[in-house]
Amino acid sequence: MRRRRLAANARERRRMNGLNDAFDKLREVIPSLDAEHKLSKYETLQMAQTYISALMELLDRKDVDR
């Protein structure tokens, strides 16, 4: 029983490390207001959503200008 628990803990740790790595990569590509402040996961998702919306707006505006 203990061995299964240790294995489950290791899987969860790997899963969380992968998720944290993905958030770190996302933080690298979205614009940040304060370079010294590391965005939380929630803030990162909010900024990514805002950034994507702004990019979509730019593309829509570019299509209208044609």
Q: What is the pLDDT along the chain (66 residues), one digit of tens a residue?
A: 999 999 999 999 999 999 999 999 999 999 887 778 899 999 999 999 999 999 999 999 877 776
Signed CA dihedral, 50, 52, 37, 20: sign only: positive
User: Of 31, 10, 30, 32, nearest to 22 (Cα)?
Assistant: 30
Distances (CA, A) of 29 to 6, 13, 20: 35, 25, 15
Domains of the chain: 2-65 (4.10.280.10)
**Predicted structure pTM score:** 0.79
Residues in the chain: 66
